[in-house]
Amino acid sequence: MRKHWVTAVVMVALALVVTVPAWAQTCKVQTPLAGGTGTGTAEKKVQAATLKSQAVNKFEVDVSGAGAGVIYVVMVSTDTASPFHFTPVGAFLTNSLGAGEFDLKNSAITCNIQRVKVVSFSGAANTVSGNFNNPLNDDPPEVQNEIQLEVQNEVQNVIENEIQLEPQPNNIAPNP
């Protein structure tokens, strides 16, 4: 009976190793923002809860060099082409160095956001924008491989610990 239980644990662990990338990072993309004044980045990230971390659902915008004390409106679009389908989702005020940030948490559209515009509230030419179809590559393949290897090692350790806990049969020959 224990052998079946250990086999079941091994199969579940193996299934987790194979599927970890699919549910651990449902949606994580970062894109550069550029335009008239300033630069920045926008990031959308939705990640399911795991044993080691809580669920994440956030959209972030960070800008710098965008003018001191300027109010910016953050607008997003789920459409990849139309210039008219932008929806305002919030605003922020830059500090004295021209840097500012905006966070949107637990939005239903986070993974569907395709384009971002950060527009000066005054209507001035201070606009930066980005497109998630041209993302930043912040996790090179070797980092992704290292993460996968760590997960596989962790699962292997769990399997080995379970096998060690299984009682071993006595190898004593019966007396005739």
Cα–Cα dist 71/104, whole Å: 17
pTM: 0.61
Q: The domain spanning residue 113 has which CATH number?
A: 2.60.40
**What length is written for the chain?**
176
- Torsion 20-141-128-86 (CA) sign: negative
> What is the total count of domains within the chain?
1
Q: What is the pLDDT of residues 26-81, one digit of tens each?
A: 788 899 999 877 899 999 998 887 777 788 899 999 999 888 898 999 999 998 87
Q: What is the pLDDT of residues 19-30, one digit of tens each?
A: 444 444 478 889
Domain of residue 45, residue span: 33-134
| Confidence check: pLDDT of 94 > 50 | yes
CA-CA-CA-CA torsion for 20, 22, 24, 30, nearest 10 degrees? Answer: 140
- Specify if 175 maps to a domain: no
Place of tokens 């939705």: 46
- Specify if 124 maps to a domain: yes
- Average pLDDT on 8-26 reads 47
- Specify if 153 maps to a domain: no
Mean pLDDT across the chain, nearest whole number? 77
Question: Considering the chain, what percentage of its residues have pLDDT values greater than 70?
Answer: 66
Cα–Cα dist 79/70, whole Å: 27
- Specify if 44 maps to a domain: yes
